[in-house]
Amino acid sequence: METPSFLLFLLLLLSFSPSPTTAGKCNKSDKRALLAIKASFNNGDSFPAWTNASACCDWYGIDCDPGIADGRVTGIRIFADPTSSGSIPSALGDLPFLTTILFHKLPGLVGTIPPSLTRLSRLFTLLLSWNSLSGPIPAFLGQIPSLFDLDLSFNKFHGSIPPELSLLQNLGALHLDRNQLTGSIPASFAHFNKSSPPDLYLSHNNLSGEVPPELGAVAWGIIDLSRNRLGGDPSVLFGEAKPTTTIDLSRNLFVFDLSRVTFPVNLALLDLNHNQITGSIPAQLNQVTGLVVFNVSYNRLCGEIPVGAVTANFGADAFFHNKCLCGSPLPAC
């Protein structure tokens, strides 16, 4: 799976490249909906070309599908516009062929997500990042089964994570990071597609409680729970045979014996710093040959750091401030 930043770059790039086969086209009902959307954004700088005098498939930030009569609108991408203000318009639900909604870096975008989006049966990407959205994350988002990418990061959403999100069986990435969410991780997240679950980004919130043990049965690719107030034993997330490439549990209150876990052999990132982890570092870590980020500092680990090609790649800052770890790159035992 591509990195989120690369996918976002592609999504933004497409907004500058209207298809010549849709030039001059515009479905009348789509145009009415788009003009209502423009009005709801107080006619910001992204919308000067959105007029009755031109075809909506030629407008900035609009994608159309040439394979559908009149070039029906399939995407709307508005980003990096400090002049646009207002809330997410319910008129989005009047664009039945939408596959992509991208509202990114709109500091004046406030309020919450309208339920009219549940009418969008083709919606593939809902990216509402780096805005000023607030309120609870709506449970009705679980009623859009076509969603593949749900990104609500860098907003002001609060309250608990709705367990209904696990109904999104086609989801490839779930970004709820950098909000003000509280409560626990829903146990229902074990009901995501177990063989191909979404990459899970829940960092920089105020989540508490323990990692549901049911999540150990899911083949996560990326799981980032960092910078919360989670506790207990998350060792169900580990396992040598798992396909996981990223585990970030840093800056929580986790307590478990590291010597009892095995690491997924495809791990590229393992960050456990600033927890209350005990035990020693398993020698099996040196079998994780693709590890490029590793940190177990600020825990309660003891014993000799296992010698090997992997541990030799990391300096003292990856190991220091533990109870009694020793051996290279720390002082000798």
**pLDDT of 5 above 60:** no
**pLDDT of 320 above 60:** yes
Q: What is the pLDDT of residues 148-163, one digit of tens each?
A: 999 999 999 999 999 9
Is the four-CA dihedral 317, 318, 324, 327 of positive or negative sign? negative
Give the global pTM.
0.92
pLDDT-derived band of residue 69, with 50, 70 and 90 as boundaries?
confident
**pLDDT of 14 above 70:** no
Q: What average pLDDT does this structure show over 26-48?
A: 92
CA dist 44 and 29 (Å) reads 22
SS3 call for 117: helix
- Ranking 19-23, 26-30, 230-234 by mean pLDDT, the lowest is 19-23
Q: What is the pLDDT of residues 184-194, one digit of tens each?
A: 999 999 999 98
Q: What average pLDDT does this structure show over 87-107?
A: 97
**pLDDT of 3 above 60:** no
**pLDDT of 1 above 50:** no
Q: What is the pLDDT of residues 287-301, one digit of tens each?
A: 999 999 999 999 999
Q: What is the mean pLDDT of the chain?
A: 93
Element (H, E) at 126: strand 125-127
Q: Are strands 72-79 and 62-65 parallel, antiparallel or unpaired?
A: antiparallel
Q: What is the pLDDT of residue 4?
A: 55
